[in-house]
Structure 1
Amino acid sequence: MNKKIQVILTIIMMVFISQVNVGQVKLAQTGLKFLSVGGDARAAALGEAITALEGNSTSMFYNPSGMARQTGFVDVTFSNTQWIADINYMHASISVAPEDALYGVFGLSVASVDYGELKRTIRDEGEDGFLDLGTYSPNAFALGVGYAKALSDKFAVGGNVKFVYQDLGDGHVVNIAQDSTHTKQKFDTDVFAFDFGIQYRTGFKSLVFGMSLRNFSEEIEYIEESFQLPLTFKIGLSMNLIDLLEEGNDQHSFLLAVDAAHPRDYKEQIHIGGEYTFMNILSLRAGYISPTDEQGVNFGAGLKHEFVGFNFGVDYSYLDFGIFDNVNRFSINISY
């Protein structure tokens, strides 16, 4: 089994690396950028250094293999992100592990974005220099189906296929007739995208290695202009540092996670996050991504509580986004 796992791991790494090299061709030319915005408050607070974290249903947004270690039967998470420029994101995910994950873990996820109302104007020869044609409301969503399975006590794999749609509205006017009527052209597109990931328990304390490739798809286009999705390759490590001092300590844990990322549309980045948890109830978090143009340090906190057989969790994260003001995320998790 170990030899088979090594072969699988080698093949996956070769495929991932080849796709990363392909992604170097078109920097800063990706579309459907809403797919790059994370949908979980805990992950955001950790600077999205989550590739090697064994998680829950929200792993489908980062590394789908993370949900292979789900301990409960059902896990449900709802998240809201108050993004810059009054843009709002909603994320929801559910994962089910029948027969104690004997057949793997199955998941569904949805991400949607509300850009609000934008003014539709066109150039005009009048006094104002433009003609007001009302408003339009762009929107986008991604609907995903995921699967993950622990192939052994050390090795887990996962994948996610998602249907991605974006509607930029009909705000682009093609021409104006002499009677001031106008014709409009609708700009929308859709595509299927894929996410893949692996996680490997190294056997040294709680050290876990992870790797993921997100937003792999064919090239898409609006009318005549083609572009690619924000393909991102990440590798990461995570470990509970308390294990170095005292294993089996249920009172405290201090998780340290580090990711190295290669986005298609940006330079290489390092993600680092830390999480201190007391009594498996209260968690305090901080994370940082470098380099970035405006983002500062991420902060967050979480509370968990078990009640009548259900586990309830609430998470919050805060990010200072420089000149773009602050970003707030809220997540609610229920599992049993």
Structure 2
Amino acid sequence: MKRCFHAPTLTFVFALLLVAPAFAQRIVTPDTEVETKKRAQTGMKFLTVSVDARATALGGAVMSDMAGSSTSLFYNPASMAGMPGSFHASAGMLSFITDINYNILSLAYRPGGGNYGVFGLSVVNVDYGDFIGTIRANNEAGFVETGNYSPTALAVGLGYARAFSDRFAAGIHIKYAYQNIGDDFVTAQDFDSQTGSSFNPGLVTATESYAKGTLAFDFGVVYMTGFRSLVIAMTVRNFAQEQTYVRERFELPLTFQIGTSINLLDFTAANPDVHRLRLHVDAQRPRDFDEHIKFGLEYTFMDIFSLRGGFEQTISEEEGISLGAGVHHAISNIRFGADYAYTDWGLFGDVHRVGVQIGF
């Protein structure tokens, strides 16, 4: 009996073979072979925060969305290839812990009916709030205040995805990530008793900027297996060169993730056009902390109303479950949508995400 394997299938299987040993690898020191913990090894951590309301409500387990949207750029750019229609736009806001605010925007456009793939644009802007700057001084307090400063972060990306068949798609997302945590004052002499307890700008000879920017790359594939509605996917996110910050080197938060999803009602007599109950499970291997699993469950009624829940098994003792809901409706050829997500962050309080969408 002759067997025939499709090229996308072989590509995905080969990729899994490469990634699987990485998930199984133990981190040990070369001299003692004692397992170590990966902590604080990366910078620009704002790139790892889940920004989309629907994705967060599912615990971030959205790698295997076959029919995605412009928000897929933040998770798996390959899913963008399966978006319905020719245009999609999304805007969202995240009120994160310690009064950190995220604002996001994403656009996707499919020219020529999809013959040229799907092009996308993503923007993430982070406002960390105001901080009081200080500098060392030879006074009773040991410092003087230099005024308020406001750290910021920004990531702007361009993405492209293409479906090579009705089962397989691949995508890439190239983004410029920038973070600025303020300026440091370089002075000609120490602040002493003659300056009093206030900051004297006249003594400042120069400032040193603590801003850093670099290019980062995301890659993804998604594959519909043909067994019921089972979909599998894989992504590599935040691939970039090593960076130098002042005198220290650091890496971006490189992450490998494998995911799968299936409609659990496939095994029942339920009409999939009326009811869907989709289970999402992702396995993630970050560069800077331990491997973990993400779970998400989404019930959708008539492609209009969705209820969601998710959990991310992480090292955090504060982050708990996520819950959310979404409403999507089409008027003529224009589709509207709104999503909300709630996450319990223990001592840090509740975290809320909202997002709105439009497509045609």
Fold match by TM threshold 0.5:
yes
- Based on CA coordinates, which of the two structures has the bigger radius of gyration? 2
Q: Is the 8 A contact 1:49 1:273 kept in 2?
A: yes
Match 1:287 to one of 300, 305, 310: 310
Write the distance in 1 (CA, Å) between the matches of 2:271 and 2:83. Answer: 20
Write the distance in 2 (CA, Å) between the matches of 1:282 and 1:301. Answer: 8
Write the distance in 2 (CA, Å) between the matches of 1:247 and 1:214. Answer: 37
Aligned match of 1:199: 222
Which is worse superposed, 285-294 or 81-90? 285-294
Aligned match of 1:59: 72
SS at match of 2:328: strand
TM-score, scaled relative to structure 1: 0.93
Match 1:227 to one of 246, 250, 255: 250
- Measured after TM superposition, the shift of residue 129 of structure 1 is 3.1
Write the distance in 1 (CA, Å) between the matches of 2:27 and 2:239. Answer: 14
- Measured after TM superposition, the shift of residue 221 of structure 1 is 1.3
1:128 paired with 2:141, answer yes
Instruction: Evaluate the alpha carbon distance shift between residue 109 and residue 15 of structure 1 in structure 2; reply closer, same or farther with a 3 A threshold.
Output: farther
Q: Is the 8 A contact 2:264 2:276 kept in 1?
A: yes
Write the distance in 2 (CA, Å) between the matches of 1:199 and 1:312. Answer: 25
Which is worse superposed, 127-136 or 67-76? 127-136
Q: Is the 8 A contact 1:234 1:260 kept in 2?
A: yes
What amino acid sits opposite 2:135 in the alignment? I
Aligned match of 1:328: 352
Write the distance in 2 (CA, Å) between the matches of 1:105 and 1:62. Answer: 16
- Measured after TM superposition, the shift of residue 16 of structure 1 is 5.1
- Measured after TM superposition, the shift of residue 51 of structure 1 is 0.6
Q: Is the 8 A contact 1:115 1:138 kept in 2?
A: yes
Match 2:132 to one of 111, 119, 139: 119
What amino acid sits opposite 2:54 in the alignment? R
* Residues matched between the structures, number: 335
1:263 paired with 2:286, answer yes
Write the distance in 2 (CA, Å) between the matches of 1:78 and 1:185. Answer: 35
Q: Is the 8 A contact 1:20 1:264 kept in 2?
A: no
Q: Is the 8 A contact 1:23 1:264 kept in 2?
A: no
Write the distance in 1 (CA, Å) between the matches of 2:13 and 2:188. Answer: 58
Instruction: Evaluate the alpha carbon distance shift between residue 12 and residue 199 of structure 1 in structure 2; reply closer, same or farther with a 3 A threshold.
Output: same
Write the distance in 2 (CA, Å) between the matches of 1:19 and 1:108. Answer: 31
Aligned match of 1:88: 101
- Measured after TM superposition, the shift of residue 217 of structure 1 is 0.4
Aligned match of 1:137: 150
Gap regions ≥5 residues in structure 1: none
Write the distance in 1 (CA, Å) between the matches of 2:349 and 2:89. Answer: 30
Matches within 5 A, 1:15-34: 27-34=39-46
Write the distance in 1 (CA, Å) between the matches of 2:79 and 2:169. Answer: 8
Write the distance in 1 (CA, Å) between the matches of 2:247 and 2:346. Answer: 35
Write the distance in 2 (CA, Å) between the matches of 1:3 and 1:70. Answer: 23
Aligned match of 1:4: 7
Write the distance in 1 (CA, Å) between the matches of 2:325 and 2:185. Answer: 47
Q: Is the 8 A contact 1:165 1:189 kept in 2?
A: yes
SS at match of 2:81: helix
- Measured after TM superposition, the shift of residue 12 of structure 1 is 4.0
Write the distance in 1 (CA, Å) between the matches of 2:26 and 2:118. Answer: 30
- Measured after TM superposition, the shift of residue 307 of structure 1 is 1.8
Instruction: Evaluate the alpha carbon distance shift between residue 283 and residue 176 of structure 1 in structure 2; reply closer, same or farther with a 3 A threshold.
Output: farther
1:82-129 CA-to-partner distances (Å, cap 9, x unmatched) read 011101001111111123312211111111101111110123332333
Q: Is the 8 A contact 2:87 2:109 kept in 1?
A: yes
| Percent pairwise identity | 44
Write the distance in 2 (CA, Å) between the matches of 1:204 and 1:17. Answer: 22
1:185 paired with 2:208, answer yes
SS at match of 2:223: strand
Write the distance in 2 (CA, Å) between the matches of 1:205 and 1:138. Answer: 48
Matches within 5 A, 1:238-253: 238-246=261-269, 248-253=271-276
